[in-house]
Amino acid sequence: MLQFLKLGGSLITVKDKPYTLRQGILQQAASEVHAYLSSHPGNSLIIGHGSGSFGHTSAATYGTKNGVSSQEEWLGYAHVCRDARALNQHVLNALVDAGVPAVSYPPSSAVRCSNGDMVEWDTSSIKQAIQNGLVPLIFGDTVLDDRLGGTICSTEDLFLWLGRRFSPKRVLIAGIEPGVWEDFPARRTMMKEIHASKFKEGSDFITGSHFTDVTGGMAAKVQRMSSMVQENPGCKVLLFTGIPKGAIQNALASDIPGTTILP
């Protein structure tokens, strides 16, 4: 069985403190991924992570998501790429140190967009990596764009592309919130299920992040993952908190409390 797991930027970094890693949480997550794989031989993972207070900080400064044209904006593009890669190295180190055979696939070197939409990404090497028991690691990153010059692809954008080619059984989005709130930031009512076919009907209840998030926050996550389950009817998406010890390992092995997105 193939699953996608996202370690959210809010989970592995302190999103309101630029360039601040949650080292303990990251190591805990990596250990739980290793424990799951060790107890479920033959199952496969693709792991992604957000940019948190690394890439989102510089991306907001330079407006990279909206396009790149001037010399200053291209320098900003390079800054965002560097910051996203810096966090990716932390994640890669944690996974490999925990015994997970993770291999990083930086989108900036392979993905191409047109007006913000992905149009090219050769994933044959990712397929071969999975076949050899490796764990591909992707992340939100800068990418070149035929019309905008440059932009940013979120992990959910990348998962959606990969979902069309690998048809995962489950997609797990681990953040700091226990699910999707109807009334964020009051946090009184959590949505246990979201049916993708009715997402637009209830989307007014879902807002973006109150931290710096240039890729749209929770609303964009739900929108992308609703598309995922509609395109892959055998797949379901779970959004949950990865903070408690054991949460990620348990989520990989079975359903746990959170918000489930269904077709």
Q: What is the pTM of this model?
A: 0.91
DSSP 40-80: STT-EEEEEE--HHHHHHHHHHHTGGG---SHHHHHHHHHH
Q: Is 99 helix (H, G, I), strand (E, B) or coil?
A: coil
pLDDT at 202: 47
pLDDT at 203: 52
CA–CA distance, 100 with 92 (Å, rounded to integer): 9
pLDDT at 207: 52
pLDDT at 221: 80
pLDDT at 222: 87
pLDDT at 185: 80
Q: Is 209 helix (H, G, I), strand (E, B) or coil?
A: coil
Give the architecture-level CATH label for domain 2-262: 3-Layer(aba) Sandwich (3.40)
pLDDT at 131: 97
Helix (H) or strand (E) holding 135: strand 135-139
Q: What angle do CA 148, 171, 173 make, to 5 degrees?
A: 75
pLDDT at 27: 98
pLDDT at 212: 44
Alpha helices for 98-216 (secondary structure H): 124-131, 155-166, 199-202
Q: Is 105 helix (H, G, I), strand (E, B) or coil?
A: coil
Q: Give 252's contacts (C-beta < 8 A, 6+ positions apart).
A: 3, 5, 32, 33, 36, 40, 45, 172
CA–CA distance, 235 with 83 (Å, rounded to integer): 32
Parts of the chain with a pLDDT under 70: 199-217
**Reduced to 3 DSSP states, what percent helix, strand and coil does the chain have, rounded to the nearest 5?**
45, 25, 30
